[in-house]
Amino acid sequence: MSKSSLPTSQHAAVIHEFGEPEVMTYQSGVEVPEPSAEQVLVKVAYAGINPVDYKTRQGKGWGADKIQKNKFDYNQPAILGFDVAGEVVKSNSIEFVVGDRVAALSFDGSCYAEYVAVDSKLLAKVPDNISLEQAGALPCVGQTALQFVQFADIKADEHVVMNAPAGGVGQLVVQLLIAKAAQDNIKLTVICSPDKYDKLDSLIDKSKLAGWIDYTEQQEFPDLQADVLLDLVGDEAGVKALRTLKSDARVFVLPTIWVDKLKAAGSDKLTIEGYAVKPNAEDMAKILQQVADDTLKLHIQKSYPLSEIVAAHTELQKGDTFGKIVLRV
């Protein structure tokens, strides 16, 4: 697409205030951003949505603080969305040319739109055998899963318990851990509902699991003397899972807001740490390649048109998604 043929206005999902899904409106006439030095302009094909998006929309966390400071304090609207996949239409970087298929996790947001400017250091090229829909679903969950497992630094022969193995991040974490089980003889126990446990068949060989805890049936979880808890839920679900651990176990929490609650509930000997993803091109490329090589599977529950942004957020906020929800732009 030549510079002269690039539009100056676009459709986007815009918010003027924090609140329920209905605060997001699908608008035309929104200005197309101009990429600055070392940025590229991406024509968005798909934008993934994540729990951090609806928490930001509700006015919670660092994403909301940033919007308040940079947009709302100046009576300017904001566009949500950290996940993007699409095609480069303008480039101020020697790394990328017009026509490249790319994906990125960008904490500058603004991906719920037809065009977004992204720092080139966050972008990775999408392998030919991956669809842009898959690529758009991957940035946040893929980089988070990869970094989270590295951060937990699980040792050979350790017993790991994790909850939410079928959610956006969990579906990838559980596969990375099953690969680790084969390599390092770790044991893995998952906590989920019977419905989600059945769905794991499409992701992993469940015979490789050490066990399954059905939280809908078991009021009190077994004491497994496990070494590590990967808590992808937090709140009361995280507190309940602490019972499975030995007294000096390690606990890693997504999202980080629940760290203090778990510290208050657990023994003094527990090590409890939160983790926040650090967006970068290397991990983006790595996770795309693993999906391309079929060493990782990615399940997309549903794809909504960007105009149905309110329905997409409403669905995600129910909290029972298997895999990912994406927006089709």
pTM: 0.94
pLDDT of residue 236: 94
Read off the pLDDT of residues 21-46 as tens digits, 9 standing for 90 and up: 999 999 999 999 999 999 999 999 99
pLDDT of residue 257: 87
Read off the pLDDT of residues 67-103 as tens digits, 9 standing for 90 and up: 999 999 999 999 999 999 999 999 999 999 999 999 9
- How many residues belong to the chain? 329
The average confidence (pLDDT) of the chain is 95
Confidence bin at 319 (pLDDT 50/70/90): confident
pLDDT of residue 219: 87
3-state secondary structure 121-176: HHCEECCCCCCHHHHHHCHHHHHHHHHHHHHHCCCCCCEEEEECCCCCCHHHHHHH
pLDDT of residue 260: 95
Read off the pLDDT of residues 164-187 as tens digits, 9 standing for 90 and up: 999 999 999 999 999 999 999 999
Which amino acid is located at 5 in the chain? S
**140 pLDDT above the threshold of 70:** yes
Read off the pLDDT of residues 271-312 as tens digits, 9 standing for 90 and up: 999 999 999 999 999 999 999 999 999 999 999 999 999 999
**323 pLDDT above the threshold of 90:** no
**4 pLDDT above the threshold of 60:** no
Contacts of the segment 250-257: beta carbons below 8 A, 24+ positions apart: 250/152, 252/148, 252/151, 252/152, 252/228, 254/144, 254/148, 254/169, 255/51, 255/52, 255/55, 257/61
Cis preceding linkage at 51, omega within 30: no
